[in-house]
Amino acid sequence: MSFLDMPDWGHQFARSILTALREKDPYTYGHCLRVGRNARLLAQEAGYDEKQQTIIEFSALFHDIGKIGIPDSILLKPGKLSREEIEVMKKHPVQSAEMIRPFDSIGFFKSLLPGILYHHERVDGKGYPFCLSEKEIPTPAKIILIVDTFDAMTTSRPYRNGLNTEKALEEIIRCAGTQFDPDLAKLFVESFPQWNQYEEEITETFVSEHFKKSA
């Protein structure tokens, strides 16, 4: 077994953490599953090997788990957040990474940290929490940002309706080079319509099957 291989309890670990997230906030749970699947597919399109795809998928599955620590009054607030509440929300990439860090003596878990920690950094340096730019941002984090933002735009929340696929893809292109890595944004927009045709809907069963398949 090599340094970056997932330990055989990796899937149980993911299910356990994601079950806690589902209890806290079912929307964020579903979001993490979709982002995990799409991050893997985009990594595949970008030419990453199987092992790297699994690392990117699991970084994406865990990217928002730190929201478990955000008070319900903020995380589940049905309206606009205040400036103070936005600052609390912005702590979640660090909080997500802190939940994985106790396992960083295991190569696989250590390799998840960059994707998790930097998934809100933008190529123009206006992201958070570290204001990194372009080459400073690891590719897994750039992949997660694109699929994460797309998912957030296309899902409906109690306070707003989601955009349709076409409009959301236009938005990804519009923000290529400022928010998103331009090459990855182009690849996503070209590839996404094909994924929808052959991927089944994400359900509990899909996840467990998917975990078995990638085991």
Per CB under 5 A, residues contacting Fe ion are 64
Q: Which is nearer to Fe ion, 106 or 180 (CB)?
A: 180
Q: Which is nearer to Fe ion, 48 or 128 (CB)?
A: 128
Q: How many CA atoms does the CB half-sphere of 81 hold within 13 Å?
A: 16
Closest residue to Fe ion, based on beta-carbon distance: 64
In angstroms, give the least distance from the CB of 96 to Fe ion.
Answer: 8
Q: Which is nearer to Fe ion, 64 or 181 (CB)?
A: 64
Q: Which is nearer to Fe ion, 106 or 117 (CB)?
A: 117
Cα gap 156→73, rounded to integer Å:
19
Per the structure block, which two tokens stand in for 49? 């090997």
In angstroms, give the least distance from the CB of 2 to Fe ion.
Answer: 29
In angstroms, give the least distance from the CB of 4 to Fe ion.
Answer: 24
End-to-end CA distance of the chain: 13
- Those residues whose C-beta lies under 8 Å from the C-beta of residue 185, and which sit 6 or more positions away, are 146, 172, 173, 175, 176, 177
In angstroms, give the least distance from the CB of 67 to Fe ion.
Answer: 8
- Those residues whose C-beta lies under 8 Å from the C-beta of residue 183, and which sit 6 or more positions away, are none
